[in-house]
């Protein structure tokens, strides 16, 4: 049984605006599903329906086996949610918020303190637990928000743009935590505008545009759909460019060379082909000045499917190690 | 996928609410009330206007209209004693409106979504929000009561005082339900004047300042059917005379009716909010 099963899900507002226009998706237990799309594409509306904050106007969706429209309380019991804005009461301390969240989830009083301590430690906030949240940095708030979402050990975790606006260190901490959750078997539904984030964390990616899913698959498969990776080669000294092209043509189809490169060749196996290419060129007496492996990005996929680029594509995710 | 985290059974054991699990639901209500009281304990300055306003109103009105008790038909009660219970009702009104404004702020800031995402029954969450008003109103009421005793208002007796407090807390809850309904409808703190207006009108159209017999004809008619009038009579009885069951039960009935009416509106507002 899928952890999240969505069929023909729709949401039409009273104004007539159809924010989500019949999407289908299935997320398997333990999977990290990246949900990509620009602002206004329908990401947040979809998430709000899946977490029972908004009723669908068409189609159906089950989360952790329960229907979001007819069994919302059962869904809420099994999901954790960290929404885009970490809504935290700034007058309360981190520990007080954790304990409040535990109570709101019906955790028995005798387990509340232990569970709060465990999660505060897990997200690295033990030193700040007694401080008011108003004194926390943006990264600390996000980590606390994540800890609160995990207080009842949810089966399915929804993270809505969890690293937007965070510094690389905080982003790295959150990425590590998502990987850890995946290792623990938690299903994660991750919405993001950062392509690299989806690439790094997601087992599969769904791209939504104008309320419809326009592409879905593993990041590698999606990128393969829009073309093979290619090697752009430039030579320090190249007396015989046609010979070089002949040699490189053995590895794959030649492409028009971009500015700054002498030859460009598609390579089906990507990085695996770099060493053989260098070896062949070296043996033939060519001196390679630069060699760059260019792989299609998820933004290329998005552009291919929608004719537009994602906003986050222009903003590097300041990749942590 | 290897699973080293909690098993499904362990996950389910960590929380949730069964229909009959009143203890966990009560814990939610208490937790939400405690959170609401944080504003008083951690930002005391923010609550000063709400605490002082009813007292200033009573002192000011007593000073300006103090001789009104000389008007034929007013009775043998001095004006400040007559008007102190109105201050209590206003305290309930201010607190109820503040509850709505605070909820609107929570909606604007996304906190309310967090509450709605918890598996506690939504009526329990609503009860937690409203119950805070019942407790918070005790602060301005206590201050006014202390000042009233200082300026010579007669002590109403323990029984009368307890009945008055029960009615005021109930009325604060009803006004809070009204304000919460508006907060859920408009989802902005800009609706604050509307939230305040309900209690203001409710108290205004009662025998707040003179006995009902001295009100203009149309106002007397409105005051007669206004349930807040019964509440005021119930609160005032011990200050101006003896406490009687005959004036207590209509007040209790009126408060219960107001809570049920506005509570139903608030519950409907909550259902619509999430749809």
pLDDT digits (tens, 9 = 90+) for B206-239: 998 888 888 888 889 999 999 999 999 999 999 9
Residues B140-160: tens digit of each pLDDT:
999 999 999 999 898 999 999
0.95 cut: is pTM over it? no
Residues of B in contact with A179 (CB under 8 A): none
Beta bridge partners of A132: A93
Residues B254-272: tens digit of each pLDDT:
999 999 999 999 999 999 9
Closest residue in B to A71 (Cα–Cα): B119
Residues of B in contact with A108 (CB under 8 A): 24
pLDDT score for A321: 40
Percentage of residues in chain A having pLDDT higher than 90: 48
Asked if residues A22 and A59 have their Cβ atoms less than 8 Å apart, the reply is yes
Q: What is the DSSP letter of A288?
A: E
E strand or H helix that includes residue A279: helix A274-283
Asked if residues B183 and B103 have their Cβ atoms less than 8 Å apart, the reply is yes
Cα pseudo-dihedral A93, A94, A100, A105, rounded to 10 = 170
* Phi, psi values for residue B72, rounded to 5°: -55, 135
| CA-to-CA separations, B22 to A151, B34, B36, B166, in angstroms, rounded | 21, 18, 21, 23
Model confidence at A212, in pLDDT bands (50, 70, 90)? Answer: very high
pLDDT score for B18: 64
Asked if residues A207 and A305 have their Cβ atoms less than 8 Å apart, the reply is yes
Residues of A in contact with B111 (CB under 8 A): 87-89
Mean pLDDT score, A98-120 = 92
Contact B5 A103 (CB under 8 A): no
Distance of CA B23 to the CA centre of its chain: 24
Return d(Cα B181, Cα A321) in angstroms, integer.
Answer: 49
Model confidence at B2, in pLDDT bands (50, 70, 90)? Answer: very low
pLDDT score for B106: 93
Return the higher-pLDDT residue of A188 and B45: A188
Position B139 pLDDT exceeds 50: yes
Residues of A in contact with B47 (CB under 8 A): none
What average pLDDT does chain A have? 88
Instruction: Quote ipTM for the complex.
Output: 0.85
Contact A104 B10 (CB under 8 A): no
Return d(Cα B244, Cα B263) in angstroms, integer.
Answer: 28
Position B80 pLDDT exceeds 60: yes
* Phi, psi values for residue A293, rounded to 5°: -90, 120
Return d(Cα A252, Cα A230) in angstroms, integer.
Answer: 9
Q: Which residues of A229-239 are buried (b: 16+ CB within 10 A; e: fewer)?
A: bbbbbbbeebe
The alpha-carbon gap from A46 to the nearest alpha carbon of chain B, in Å, equals 14
What average pLDDT does chain B have? 89
| CA-to-CA separations, B195 to A215, B15, B47, B136, B190, in angstroms, rounded | 48, 36, 17, 17, 10
Nearest to B263 by CA among B152, B154, B189, B171: B171
Return the higher-pLDDT residue of B69 and B268: B268
Interface of A with B in 202-241 (CB under 8 A): none
């Amino acid at each position: 049984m899928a952890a999240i099963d969505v069929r023909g899900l729709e949401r039409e507002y009273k104004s007539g605006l159809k924010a989500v226009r019949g999407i289908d998706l299935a997320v398997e237990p333990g999977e990290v599903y990246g949900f990509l799309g620009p602002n206004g594409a329908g990401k947040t509306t979809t998430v709000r329906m899946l977490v029972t904050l908004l009723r669908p106007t068409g189609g159906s969706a089950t989360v952790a086996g329960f229907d979001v429209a007819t069994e919302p309380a059962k869904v809420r019991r099994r999901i954790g949610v960290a929404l885009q804005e970490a809504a935290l009461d700034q007058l309360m301390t981190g520990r007080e918020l954790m304990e409040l969240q535990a109570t709101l989830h019906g955790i028995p009083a005798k387990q509340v303190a232990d569970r709060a301590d465990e999660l505060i430690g897990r997200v690295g906030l033990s030193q700040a637990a007694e401080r008011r949240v108003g004194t926390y940095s943006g990264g600390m708030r996000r980590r606390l928000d994540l800890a609160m979402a995990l207080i009842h050990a949810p089966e399915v975790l929804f993270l809505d743009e969890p690293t937007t606006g965070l510094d690389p260190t905080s982003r790295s901490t959150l990425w590590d935590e998502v990987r850890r959750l995946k290792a623990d078997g938690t299903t994660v539904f991750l919405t993001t505008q950062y392509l690299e984030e989806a690439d790094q964390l997601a087992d599969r990616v769904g791209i939504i545009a104008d309320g419809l899913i326009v592409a879905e698959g593993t990041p590698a498969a999606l990128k393969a759909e829009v073309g093979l990776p290619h090697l752009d080669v430039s030579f320090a000294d190249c007396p015989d460019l046609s010979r070089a092209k002949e040699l490189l043509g053995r590895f794959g189809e030649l492409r028009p060379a971009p500015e700054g490169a002498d030859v460009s060749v598609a390579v089906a196996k990507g990085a695996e082909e770099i060493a053989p290419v260098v070896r062949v060129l070296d043996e033939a007496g060519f001196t390679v000045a630069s060699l760059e492996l260019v792989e299609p990005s998820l933004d290329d996929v998005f552009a291919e499917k929608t004719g537009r680029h994602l906003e986050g594509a222009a903003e590097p995710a300041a990749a942590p190690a | 996928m290897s699973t080293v985290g909690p098993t499904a059974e362990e996950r389910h054991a960590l929380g949730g609410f069964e229909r009959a699990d009143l203890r966990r639901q009560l814990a939610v209500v208490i937790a939400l009330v405690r959170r609401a009281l944080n504003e008083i304990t951690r930002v005391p300055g923010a609550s000063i206007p709400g605490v002082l306003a009813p007292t200033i109103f009573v002192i000011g009105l007593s000073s300006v209209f103090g001789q009104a008790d000389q008007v034929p038909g007013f009775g043998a009660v001095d004006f400040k004693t007559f008007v102190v219970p109105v201050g209590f009702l206003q305290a309930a009104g201010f607190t109820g409106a503040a509850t709505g404004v605070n909820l609107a702020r929570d909606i604007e800031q996304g906190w309310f979504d967090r509450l709605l995402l918890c598996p506690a029954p939504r009526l329990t969450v609503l009860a937690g929000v409203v119950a805070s008003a019942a407790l918070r109103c005790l602060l301005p009421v206590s201050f006014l009561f202390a000042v009233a005793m200082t300026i010579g208002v007669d002590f109403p007796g323990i029984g009368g005082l307890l009945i008055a407090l029960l009615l005021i807390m109930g009325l604060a809850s009803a006004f809070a339900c009204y304000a919460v309904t508006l907060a859920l409808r408009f989802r902005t703190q800009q609706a604050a004047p509307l939230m305040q207006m309900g209690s203001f009108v409710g108290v205004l159209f009662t025998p707040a300042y003179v006995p009902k017999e001295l009100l203009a004809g149309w106002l007397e008619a409105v005051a007669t059917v206004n349930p807040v009038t019964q509440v005021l009579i119930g609160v005032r009885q011990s200050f101006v005379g003896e406490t009687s069951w005959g004036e207590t039960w209509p007040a209790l009935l009126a408060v219960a009716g107001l809570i049920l009416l506005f509570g139903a509106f608030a519950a409907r507002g909550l259902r619509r909010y999430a749809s």
